[in-house]
Amino acid sequence: MADEIVNRVAQSSLITFDLEEHYPKGERKTLDLSQWLEQGFILREKEFRTALKNFDFSAYKDSYVALYCSTEALLPAWANLLVTSHLQHIAKQVIWGTLEELEIAIFQSLIDAIDPTPFEGKPVIIKGCADKSIPASAYVALVQKLQPYVKSLMYGEACSSVPLYKK
């Protein structure tokens, strides 16, 4: 049958990598250190340690946490480290920064853990048009991770892609 429609994309060896499929589950939360400071600005070590010891961190279980201080307090470097030590076995990941920086860190960890060898010598398309808020830096990191291994790298959809790299 000469008029038969053939899906050449489905028959090709093209691999679609969809970052959205790898979107890590878990709530993203913030934790403001100023709540443990006197008047939001003064850190008194003994009181700070006691407040952390008595604080219920269970609300952060299995969450991704961005630590920050909403005031302009000058905190000693160990303050955020001490809070992190309380979250270490509760939260999935803890960073110092904003929710946006947290998302970047989450995806960087995810991309660092990818084994690129299954993509060796194959054409790969990085799927675009993601519904979730995947940071642009995740796509940049993914290109750097995959490019040394792939035969070709594209971005978009199989029907409408932008070539990025070809060996």
Q: Are 15 and 35 within one domain?
A: no
Please compute the mean of the pLDDT values over residues 95-112 and round it to a whole number: 96
- Partner residues linked to 153 by β-bridges: 124, 165
Note the pTM of the prediction, 2 decimals.
0.84
64 pLDDT more than 90: yes
Comparing 167 with 158, which gets the higher pLDDT?
A: 167
38 occurs within a structural domain: yes
Q: Are 36 and 81 within one domain?
A: yes
> According to the model, what pLDDT value does residue 47 have?
96
Give the structural domain span for 16.
8-24+116-166
130 occurs within a structural domain: yes
Q: Are 35 and 19 within one domain?
A: no
> According to the model, what pLDDT value does residue 122 have?
96
Please compute the mean of the pLDDT values over residues 72-85 and round it to a whole number: 96
48 occurs within a structural domain: yes
Q: Which of the four pLDDT bands, split at 50, 70 and 90, describes residue 120?
A: very high
> According to the model, what pLDDT value does residue 157 have?
84
Total count of domains within the chain: 2
pLDDT digits (tens, 9 = 90+) for 1-19: 567 764 454 546 899 999 9
104 occurs within a structural domain: no
